[in-house]
Amino acid sequence: MFDLQVLAVQADLTRVITFIVGLEASLRTYGEIGVPESHHPLTHHGSNPESIEKFKRINTFHAEQFAQFLRKLGAASDGYGSLLDRSMIVYGSGISDCNAHTHENLPIVVAGRGRGLRLRRHVVNPQKTPLTNPFMTVLDRMGGRPESIGDGTGKLEQLTEI
């Protein structure tokens, strides 16, 4: 699916893609990386070290697939530059602690160089910053100028160039 996304953008068939790499509620197994158990039950690991290790393997696998996608975007051109340099990509999770079902302090990656994003750094937002704030920032940089999204409280100025 990542390869198809690179081709679709390179061929200018689309400019916006939404893709779920691995839905946490999925019962998919990952035999190809040595995890025969379903994904979702492993998210409720109950601090079991064996389950945590398998859950880590799944998350590592997803992150490796994403990194490969970024490399392919960086190697592909649309005639004006690399697709990665001309893109804005958000990658992350919808939950931070699967056992407690918390949605705070979510780690996300914003990649690409599209439209004035300040990247290649680690940003820690204040406690209780809604996940929708970086989405509002990305939409704003793309010209969307959203007034609000869900529980968003505003754009993240630390993501934009000054």
Q: What would the mean pLDDT of 82-106 be, rounded to a whole number?
A: 81
Taking the C-alpha atoms of residue 133 and residue 73, their distance in angstroms, rounded to an integer, is 25
pLDDT band at 51 (very low <50, low <70, confident <90, very high): very high
- Greater confidence (84 vs 119) lies with 84
| DSSP designation for 160 | B
Half-sphere exposure of 106 (CA within 13 A, CB side): 21
Do 39 and 93 form a contact (C-beta atoms < 8 A)?
Answer: no
What pLDDT digit, counting tens, does each position of 9-39 carry? 999 898 889 898 877 677 889 999 999 998 8
109 contacts: CB under 8 Å, gap ≥ 6? 66, 89, 90, 91, 92
pLDDT band at 161 (very low <50, low <70, confident <90, very high): low
Kindly list the domain boundaries of the chain, sorted by start residue. Answer: 1-79
pTM for the model stands at 0.85
Taking the C-alpha atoms of residue 95 and residue 138, their distance in angstroms, rounded to an integer, is 20
pLDDT band at 64 (very low <50, low <70, confident <90, very high): very high
Do 114 and 88 form a contact (C-beta atoms < 8 A)?
Answer: yes
CB 50: neighbour CB atoms within 10 A?
10
